[in-house]
Chains A and B, each alone.
Chain A
């Protein structure tokens, strides 16, 4: 894989949003030097962003028998950034059936990432229109 000697990264560890320059440097213990960071956490973030960037992927899945046609889901852990669209393809091929409980695994090992997809809300099976009263 092609790796340029230097990459620009905007730090998101805190609201300051430092502009980091991550430079390849064999003399450093982690192989990189981070310029422009005001803290240690920013340095770690910078190196992670150029070596193994990951993202949480929140999206929705189709569902039958619920009060809505979509149910929100997310990856249980952050996945590699480069796998985001592969995961979206896999997630969009699934159709669930209500009821679903929050936290339930709705797709295992999405797109070979080793990470499961979980529901982020509960949806009951709807047999009649939603009641007005609760409590």
Chain B
């Protein structure tokens, strides 16, 4: 049986970034397992531009961004298996998988990188009333149908949720000749990037109704109409504010859920705030030698940051198999303070840090003209001004590792404070 140094589960931006970096850092046998028919993951259906602005300083589409990493993976001769479904991961790092040519496989690995990404929250998960006719799609599913399979999913469309996928699909459907009647968002602010609100909605005069939700879906075989209504501060619909649309399609862009069935099965500890594994500075989970990166850890808004995080996971996985990772030693916890929803990583072992420790976090609400303040056991070690912060835009604060080595730290807290 073939043994591998590093087995990577998933070949989206996270898996590709981790595999390439593990190989470059000295891991000898790296294997990537992908359930889809090709490499690249969801990037292949994200045909819009806006990728790579940070990482490559270029404005690329999803497929272009993916192809750079796919080319690199292939140039390095990294092994991968397509159409291969991972069924189970054991605590002892045996990957159990299946495909149609080799049948059932048990692959022992010295290190595993979890890079399974996330999936879309469904209609059932948010309990929309009404019948269950054809014509209700998750926005990402519709995106795959339209951009890859060549199916137009509808002609008159209402979209629930103003996350980036919903906004991008509003433009895509419009360009392909559909009429997008409205985008309803239950929150008082959009979860999407400003550039998407401008270039996907305002450019095409598509109305965005904040503090609105879908209260009824009509039609038995196919959607014939959708009713939306304003909601109050407790997100309950307000009687008398209903707006009705005759339409054949409802697209849902109502959130993403990290896909952690395999992680849970292995016994990896999950953070309820992120729905992803608890990780340390090496992107290592609660199980030694099992690493995780990308949207399986926490949902990112830019693929560029997925890549950055995944390269770290790959690098540290390579160090782990070469026994260069310090598993013991000085460790501290990170704690989300006032206004912060979560921080990744959750734990930090100072000995393993390179020059800087990047902290990825999300704020709980929209803030204007505030500071992010980092405190080590109550003492301020970094302050950064932020003109504008929103839950839809991930914040990154980088701390010089020297500041964390000066003396033992028990807790590193980040909070939003007045300027």
Contacts and interface: CB of A to CB of B under 8 A. Distances in A.
A binds B: yes
Interface of A: 10-12, 15-17, 38, 55-60, 62, 67-70, 72, 74, 81, 84-85, 88, 102, 120-122, 130-135
Given A12-B194, A130-B37, A120 B79 contact: no
Contact of A132 (B63, B102, B203): B102
B388 A120 contact: no
B34 to A, nearest CB: 9
Interface string B71-90: 00010011111111000000
Contacts of B393: 15
A132 B149 contact: no
Contact of A68 (B78, B148, B175): B148
Interface of A: prevailing SS:
loop
Contacts of B80: 134-135
B390 A15 contact: yes
B47 A133 contact: no
Given A10-B198, A130-B82, A67 B37 contact: yes
B286 interface: no
Contact of B194 (A10, A55, A59, A62): A10
A67 B100 contact: no
A38 B63 contact: no
A70 B197 CA distance: 26
Interface string B44-64: 100111000000000111111
A125 B250 CA distance: 36
A132 B47 contact: no
Contact of A121 (B67, B81, B198): B67
Secondary structure type dominating chain B contacts: mixed
B150 A69 contact: yes
Given A16-B388, A130-B38, A58 B61 contact: yes
A67 B359 CA distance: 41
B419 interface: no
B47 A60 contact: yes
A74 B51 CA distance: 13
B78 A135 contact: yes
B101 interface: yes
A120 B83 contact: no
Given A10-B202, A133-B101, A121 B82 contact: no
A134 B33 CA distance: 10
Contacts of A15: 193-194, 388, 390, 393
A132 B99 contact: yes
B199 interface: yes
A102 B67 contact: yes
